[in-house]
Amino acid sequence: MPPSITKHLALKGISAGMSLPEAPIDRVLELTHLKQLIELLEINCILDVGANKGQFATELRGIGFKGLLVSFEPLRREFVRLQEAFSRDPLWRGFCVALGDKNGPAKINVVPHLTVMSSMLETRSRWGDVETEDVEVKRLDDIFGAIVSGLVSPRVLLKMDTQGYDLKVFAGAQGCLQSIRALQSELSIVPLYQNMPHYLEALATYERAGFQLFNLSVVSRTGDGGLQELNCFMKRNGR
C-alpha cells in the first residue's frame, strides 16, 4: 500500500477516535532498536541488573542474543525462579545481589504482589503494603573480573532497571567502564520513589562518562496520557 494511502487511513482512524495498543507496539520497537545496538557494537555480554524473574533475559534470547548473559536479582524468592528459568542456558550466570555504589548489607523495599517495583529507595506507597528484605550490595567494578571470567575482550551492555537506583549502580561501575560499550537505563519523568534522580541528571551523568543517546522509548504514562517513565539506550562515543 502506498505511504500516502497508509497515512490517509491512519489520519481517518485517529479522527474517528480509533487507537492502537500502544504498549506492545512500543515494546516491539524498543527491542528492535536494542537488537540494532547489540549488533552495531558487537556486544558479547549483557549485564541484566534488576533481573526480577528473567523477563528481560528471556526477551534477549528471543531476539537472538547468544552471548554471555549475567543476571543480578537481590530478592531471594525471585532469584530462585530466575535460576530455574535459565538452568539449561550454558551462557547464563546469576548473582543474588544488588548492585550499588558501595559494598555491604542493605535493606530493599519489597512490593509483595508486584516485586518488579521493589526498590532500594522508599516507595510512595502507591502499591499498598511494602515489606523489607535484607540484601547484599556489591560494586560492579569489584566483581566485574569474576563475572566475565573466560570471556575474551568483553564488549558489555549494562542494562539497569533498579527502580530509581540506576545512578548508584553506574557509580559503582566506574572502574570497569572501559569494557561497557552501551547501557540501558530507566528514566523517571514523574518520580515513583523518594529522592530518585531527575531524568535530566541521569542523562547528563551518562553523557559526561562518554555515552551518547541512541534511543528513547516509552515505558509508562500517567493517567492523563503524559510521560511517566522512559528507557534510554546509550552508546559509547566513537563506538
Q: In this predicted model, what pLDDT tens digit does every residue of 216-235 receive, in sequence order?
A: 999 988 889 899 999 999 99
d(CA 147, CA 13): 50
How far from chain centre, in Å, is Cα 74?
Answer: 15
Predicted pLDDT of residue 127: 67
Looking only at the bridges linking them, the beta strands covering 180-188 and 227-236 are antiparallel
d(CA 191, CA 103): 26
| Residue 141 burial by Cβ neighbours in a 10 Å radius (0-12, 13-18, 19+) | middle
Q: Which residues pair with 180 in a beta bridge?
A: 156
164 contacts 49 by C-beta, under 8 angstroms? no
Q: How confident is the model at residue 99 (pLDDT cuts 50, 70, 90)?
A: very high
| pTM exceeds 0.95, yes or no | no
Residue 238, pLDDT above cutoff 80: no
Residue 60, pLDDT above cutoff 90: yes
Predicted pLDDT of residue 197: 92
Predicted pLDDT of residue 19: 64
* Residue 223 phi, psi dihedral angles, 5° rounding: -60, -25
Predicted pLDDT of residue 27: 87
d(CA 47, CA 183): 9
Q: In this predicted model, what pLDDT tens digit does every residue of 76-90 receive, in sequence order?
A: 999 999 999 999 999
Count other C-beta atoms under 10 Å from residue 228's C-beta: 16
Q: In this predicted model, what pLDDT tens digit does every residue of 13-34 receive, in sequence order?
A: 767 776 666 778 888 999 999 9
Q: In this predicted model, what pLDDT tens digit does every residue of 158-202 receive, in sequence order?
A: 999 999 999 999 999 999 999 999 999 999 999 888 889 999 999
Task: Give one word for 34, left, alpha or beta, with left for phi > 0 and alpha for psi -120 to 50.
Answer: alpha
Q: How confident is the model at residue 124 (pLDDT cuts 50, 70, 90)?
A: low
Please give the grid coordinates belonging to residue 111. 512490593
Write down all domains in the chain, each with its CATH number in brackets.
42-100+139-236 (3.40.50.150)
Residue 93, pLDDT above cutoff 70: yes
